[in-house]
Structure 1
Amino acid sequence: MIQKSKHIYCLFLIFLGFSVLAQNSSWQAAPFEVVNPNYKTFKTTQYAHVFSGSKHNIVRLAPELQGLTGVELPLESLKNGINLPLKLKFKEPVQVLIGIFQEKDNATYRQLNNAKLLLENGVTITGLPPVNVYAVSFSKGTHFINPEGKGLFVVLGVIKNNQKLLSRNAEFPDGKLWNPTFIVEGFSDEKPLFEIIGGENKPVIDEGFSGTEGIQGGFEGGRVVKVGDVYHMFPTERAGEAGIEMYYDRVKTKIGHWTSKDAIHWKRESTILQASGTYAITEDDNPMNDRRAAIWSYMPVFSEKENKWYGYYLAYTVHKEIQPNHSFGRIWRCESTVEGIAGIAGPYKDTGIIIEPGLDSESWEGRQGVASFFPYKVGDKYLGFYSGAFPFQSWADYPKKSGKGWFVGLAESNSLEGPWSRIKDGSNPIKSMHPFFVENPIVSQLPNGMYIAVFDGGPDGWGHHLPNMMAYSLSKDGKNWSEAHYLPIETKVNKWWDIMRTPLCLIPEGNDVYTIVYNAIDLKKRFHPTGMVKVKLNRDVMESRLKELE
Structure 2
Amino acid sequence: MFSKDTKYNFKLKTAFIMLVTVCVQATAQTTAWKPASFEIVKSKYKTFKTAQYAHVFSGSKHNIARLAPELQGLTGIELPLDKYKNENNAPLQLKFKEQVQVLIGVFQENNSDYLQADKFQNVKLILENGLTITGLPPVNVYAISFSKGTQTLNFGKGLFAVLGVVKASEKLEPRNANFPDGKLWNPTFIVEGFSDEKPLFEVIGGENKPVIDEGMSGTEGIQGGFEGGRVVKVGDMYHMFPTERAGEKGVDYYYDRVKTKIGHWTSKDAIHWKRESTIYQASGTYAVTEDDNPMNDRRAAIWSYMPIFNEKANKWYGYYLAYTVSKEIEPNHSFGRIWRCESTVDGIDGIGGPYKNIGIIMEPGLDSLPWEGRQGVASFFPYQVGDKYFGFYSGAYPFNSWADYPKKSGKGWFVALAESKSLEGPWLRMNKGLEPIKTMHPLFVENPIVSQLPNGMYIAIFDGGPDGWGHHLPNMIAYSLSADGINWAEAHYLPIETKVDKWWDIMRTPLCLIPEGNDVYTIVYNAIDLKRRFHPTGMVKVKLNKDVMESKLKELKK
TM range, normalised to the smaller chain?
A: over 0.9
Q: CA deviation at 1:425?
A: 5.8
Q: Of 99, 110, 113, which aligns to 1:108?
A: 113
Q: Of 382, 391, 407, which aligns to 1:400?
A: 407
- Partners of 1:370 and 1:387 within 8 A in 2: yes
**Structure-2 separation of matches of 1:544 and 1:214:** 48
For 1:493-512, list aligned pairs within 5 A.
Answer: 493-512=500-519
**Structure-1 separation of matches of 2:33 and 2:290:** 58
What does residue 513 of structure 1 align with? 520
**Structure-2 separation of matches of 1:241 and 1:49:** 45
Q: Of 219, 223, 237, which aligns to 2:230?
A: 223
What does residue 207 of structure 1 align with? 214
Q: Is the counterpart of residue 135 in structure 1 residue 143 in structure 2?
A: yes
Q: CA deviation at 1:36?
A: 3.8
Amino acid at match of 1:89: K
**Structure-2 separation of matches of 1:273 and 1:297:** 11
Structure 1 alignment gaps of length 5 or more? 1-16
Q: Is the counterpart of residue 349 in structure 1 residue 356 in structure 2?
A: yes
In structure 2, the residue corresponding to 1:547 is in which secondary structure? Answer: helix
Residue by residue over 1:36-80, the C-alpha shift from the partner in whole angstroms, topping out at 9 and shown as x without a partner, is: 422111111100010001011001001111111100011112112
Amino acid at match of 2:409: S
Q: CA deviation at 1:156?
A: 0.1
- Partners of 2:413 and 2:446 within 8 A in 1: yes
- Partners of 2:32 and 2:73 within 8 A in 1: no
**Structure-2 separation of matches of 1:518 and 1:371:** 19
Residue by residue over 1:472-507, the C-alpha shift from the partner in whole angstroms, topping out at 9 and shown as x without a partner, is: 000000001110100000010000001100000000
Question: Larger deviation: 510-519 or 29-38?
Answer: 29-38
Q: Of 429, 432, 435, which aligns to 1:422?
A: 429
**Structure-2 separation of matches of 1:129 and 1:495:** 28
- Partners of 2:238 and 2:268 within 8 A in 1: yes
Q: Is the counterpart of residue 433 in structure 1 residue 471 in structure 2?
A: no
Distance change in 2, residues 1:20/1:277 (3 Å): closer
**Structure-2 separation of matches of 1:421 and 1:256:** 29
Q: Is the counterpart of residue 298 in structure 1 residue 305 in structure 2?
A: yes
**Structure-1 separation of matches of 2:147 and 2:159:** 24
**Structure-2 separation of matches of 1:127 and 1:453:** 25
Q: Of 39, 42, 47, which aligns to 1:33?
A: 39
What does residue 329 of structure 2 align with? 322
- Partners of 1:204 and 1:532 within 8 A in 2: yes
Q: Is the counterpart of residue 43 in structure 1 residue 46 in structure 2?
A: no
What does residue 130 of structure 2 align with? 122
Q: CA deviation at 1:428?
A: 4.2
**Structure-2 separation of matches of 1:458 and 1:141:** 47
- Partners of 1:409 and 1:429 within 8 A in 2: yes
What does residue 95 of structure 1 align with? 101
Distance change in 2, residues 1:20/1:355 (3 Å): closer
Distance change in 2, residues 1:191/1:429 (3 Å): same
- Partners of 2:369 and 2:433 within 8 A in 1: no
In structure 2, the residue corresponding to 1:78 is in which secondary structure? Answer: helix
What does residue 546 of structure 1 align with? 553
What does residue 83 of structure 1 align with? 89
Residue by residue over 1:176-199, the C-alpha shift from the partner in whole angstroms, topping out at 9 and shown as x without a partner, is: 111110000011111111111110
What does residue 77 of structure 2 align with? 71
**Structure-1 separation of matches of 2:26 and 2:222:** 44
- Partners of 1:300 and 1:310 within 8 A in 2: yes
**Structure-2 separation of matches of 1:18 and 1:287:** 52
In structure 1, the residue corresponding to 2:232 is in which secondary structure? Answer: strand
- Identical-residue share of aligned pairs (%): 82
Q: CA deviation at 1:146?
A: 2.2
In structure 2, the residue corresponding to 1:542 is in which secondary structure? Answer: helix
**Structure-1 separation of matches of 2:422 and 2:215:** 42
**Structure-2 separation of matches of 1:19 and 1:224:** 41
Aligned residues between the structures: 531
Amino acid at match of 2:145: S
Question: Larger deviation: 340-349 or 161-170?
Answer: 161-170
TM-score calculated relative to the size of structure 1: 0.95
What does residue 278 of structure 2 align with? 271
**Structure-2 separation of matches of 1:518 and 1:36:** 46
In structure 1, the residue corresponding to 2:521 is in which secondary structure? Answer: strand
What does residue 181 of structure 1 align with? 188
Distance change in 2, residues 1:18/1:445 (3 Å): closer
Structure 2 alignment gaps of length 5 or more? 1-23
Amino acid at match of 2:373: G
Q: Is the counterpart of residue 412 in structure 1 residue 396 in structure 2?
A: no
Distance change in 2, residues 1:381/1:20 (3 Å): closer
What does residue 481 of structure 1 align with? 488
- Partners of 1:470 and 1:502 within 8 A in 2: yes
Structure 1 moving runs of 4+ over 4 Å: 17-22, 425-428
In structure 2, the residue corresponding to 1:396 is in which secondary structure? Answer: helix
- Partners of 2:367 and 2:432 within 8 A in 1: no
In structure 1, the residue corresponding to 2:553 is in which secondary structure? Answer: helix
- Partners of 1:86 and 1:147 within 8 A in 2: no
**Structure-1 separation of matches of 2:237 and 2:66:** 40
Amino acid at match of 1:127: G
In structure 1, the residue corresponding to 2:384 is in which secondary structure? Answer: strand
For 1:248-259, list aligned pairs within 5 A.
Answer: 248-259=255-266
